[in-house]
Amino acid sequence: MLRLFPKLGIDLGTTTTLVYVPEKGVVLNEPSVVAVSLEDKKILAVGADAKVMIGRTPDTIVAYRPMKDGVIANYRVTEIMLSYYMKKALGKFNLFRPEVVLSVPAGVTSTERRAVVEAAVKAGARSAYVVKEPVLAAIGAGIPIQEPRGHIIADIGGGTIDVAVISLGGIVASTSVKCAGNRLDRAIQDHVKRHHNIAIGEKMAEEIKIGIGSALPLREELTMTVKGRDVISGLPQTAEVSTNEVVKAIAKELREMVGAIKVVLQETPPELAADIIDRGITMTGGTSQLRNLPELIFRRTGVRATLADHAPLCVARGTGIALTHLDTYKRSVNYNKR
């Protein structure tokens, strides 16, 4: 009998949501933002249209990020956002409720995991499964997780860094620390305010991080003109910011992220540690693309770190592969079904 039910893989991130459709790939990549009218509680925009409103809305409109540190902070808004993205990915002519696989951080509690499943079902899923992000990232990066060998993955997104050692399809040691891309952005905002007396928005901070940011100092520094509001006069102001300024600004957060990797390495059984020395650390997620971050991790841990191909898409690709081979991964991955 032909199965008509569509399948969707959803990387439900703090800053970005990606939707994967088997045989099509990633069909949707949009910010995890929803704009809501406070007067009548009406949804005004979702995704990219809502993100441009952040910091620019009147008092009657709020641009929400319903996900915080990889878990649901606002249940109703998350449900609406999921419903919107599922309908957009499937198209208006789809008549069937999809089977959905969603990602959750490695350190998620059973209550938080259940909330994600219930939100997906209420948003229109026929059945929903959740899988821990490091497992999906490893699958999406092409790591053969079913082998009796140790593989370590560091998935660094907007809200969390998830680090895990995987062997025989399961997690042997893992940690999830709420320090990632968003914390780097806030550190840059604080630095510009403290040293240049200019208040900048999170969008400007993110542009600085991507444009000139680095995990290690550069001999030939990059510079960028930042625009914001003068803290003293309240008037619009600009200033020049350099790469090595950014390196100092984000040093504390990077130490915390490297510390998460060290914790997992220390908990790894000796046999698997030998495998990890041979294969190194695989890095995925958008924030893993920060300049010289693999080199910083190598210097601090002594273990080679390499950036996976298409690092920001690995978790979404992992959801798609897990969907395509659902029976295989049901046996080796901790799914929660509704």
pLDDT on residue 2? 41
User: Would you tell me the crossing angle of helices 202-212 and 181-196 to the nearest 10 degrees?
Assistant: 100
Model confidence at 323, pLDDT cuts 50, 70, 90, reads confident
Report whether pLDDT(3) > 80: no
Q: What pLDDT digit, counting tens, does each position of 95-125 carry?
A: 788 989 999 998 888 898 899 999 999 999 9
Report whether pLDDT(143) > 90: yes
Model confidence at 1, pLDDT cuts 50, 70, 90, reads very low
Q: What pLDDT digit, counting tens, does each position of 305-316 carry?
A: 999 999 999 999
Distance, CA of 331 to CA of 168 (rounded, Å): 11
Distance, CA of 307 to CA of 23 (rounded, Å): 25
Q: Give the residue from 287, 329, 335, 338 showing the smallest Cα distance to 146.
A: 329
Task: Say what the pTM is.
Answer: 0.90
Residue type, 134: P
Domains (range + CATH), the chain: 7-32+69-135+315-332 (3.30.420.40), 143-308 (3.30.420.40)
Task: At 20, list the tokens.
Answer: 């994967």
Model confidence at 254, pLDDT cuts 50, 70, 90, reads very high
**195-234 CB burial, b ≥16 within 10 A, e <16:** ebebebbbebbbbbbeebbbbeeeeeeeebebebbeeeee
